Copies of this chain bind each other. A is one copy, B any other.
Amino acid sequence: MMQSLRAPAMAGAFACVVAGWAPVAHAEKRVFNMTIEDTMITLVGKQKFHTFAFDGQVPGPLIHVKEGDDLTINVENDTTLPHTIHWHGLLQTGTWKMDGVPDITQKAIQPGDTFTYHFKAEPAGTYWYHCHVNTNEHVAERGMWGPLIIDPKDPLPIEKKVTKDFLLMFSSWDSAYWNKPGYGGVPGDVNNYFTINGKAFPDTQPIRVKKGDLVRVRVFGAGDEMHELHLHGHVFQIFAKDGHPLPAMINADTLLFGPGERYDILFKADNPGIWMVHDHIDMHTVNGTKPMGGAMTTVEYDEVNKDQPFYIWAHKKFVPNFYYEDSMKKGYGIFTNPDFKGVPIQ
**Contact B233 A258, beta carbon cutoff 8 Å:** no
- Report Cα–Cα, A270/B92, bound state, in Å: 11
With a cutoff of 8 Å between Cβ atoms, the chain B residues found around residue A243 in the complex are 253
- Report Cα–Cα, A17/B94, bound state, in Å: 40
Contact with B along A1-31 (1 / 0, CB 8 A): 1111111101111011000000000000000
A237 at the interface (CB under 8 A from B): yes
**Contact B268 A311, beta carbon cutoff 8 Å:** no
**Contact B136 A283, beta carbon cutoff 8 Å:** yes
Minimum CB–CB distance for A148 against chain B, Å: 13
Per a CB cutoff under 8 Å, which of B8, B105, B298 touches A310?
B105
With a cutoff of 8 Å between Cβ atoms, the chain B residues found around residue A103 in the complex are 292, 310-312
Interface size on A, residues (CB 8 A): 107
> Of the 9-residue stretches A38-46, A50-58, A156-164, A324-332, which lies at the interface with chain B?
A156-164
Contact with B along A106-141 (1 / 0, CB 8 A): 110000000000000001000000001011110110
Closest residue of chain B to A251, judged by CB? B244
With a cutoff of 8 Å between Cβ atoms, the chain B residues found around residue A4 in the complex are 237, 248-251
Which of A107, A214, A249 has most B Cβ within 10 Å?
A249
Minimum CB–CB distance for A187 against chain B, Å: 4
Closest residue of chain B to A175, judged by CB? B187
A252 at the interface (CB under 8 A from B): yes
A241 at the interface (CB under 8 A from B): yes
**Contact B271 A92, beta carbon cutoff 8 Å:** yes
Q: How many chain copies?
A: 3
A89 at the interface (CB under 8 A from B): yes
> Of the 9-residue stretches A71-79, A273-281, A338-346, which lies at the interface with chain B?
A273-281
With a cutoff of 8 Å between Cβ atoms, the chain B residues found around residue A244 in the complex are 235, 250-252
Minimum CB–CB distance for A313 against chain B, Å: 8
Closest residue of chain B to A247, judged by CB? B248
**Contact B235 A7, beta carbon cutoff 8 Å:** yes
**Contact B274 A104, beta carbon cutoff 8 Å:** yes
**Contact B234 A91, beta carbon cutoff 8 Å:** yes
**Contact B12 A157, beta carbon cutoff 8 Å:** yes
Minimum CB–CB distance for A170 against chain B, Å: 13
Minimum CB–CB distance for A85 against chain B, Å: 13
- Besides A96-B273, A189-B283, 14 more A-B contacts (Cβ < 8 Å) are A7-B249, A86-B232, A88-B253, A91-B271, A99-B275, A104-B276, A135-B282, A135-B291, A187-B289, A188-B192, A226-B226, A243-B253, A247-B249, A256-B256
Q: Which residues of A contact B (CB under 8 A)?
A: 1-8, 10-13, 15-16, 86, 88-89, 91-94, 96-97, 99, 101-107, 123, 132, 134-137, 139-140, 156-158, 161, 185-192, 214, 221, 224, 226, 228, 230, 232-235, 237, 241-254, 256-261, 266, 268, 270-276, 280-283, 285-286, 288-289, 291-292, 298, 304, 309-312
17 residue pairs from A and B, CB less than 8 Å apart: A7-B237, A8-B235, A13-B161, A88-B253, A99-B232, A99-B276, A101-B232, A107-B309, A140-B282, A185-B282, A224-B283, A244-B252, A247-B250, A253-B260, A254-B260, A256-B256, A258-B281
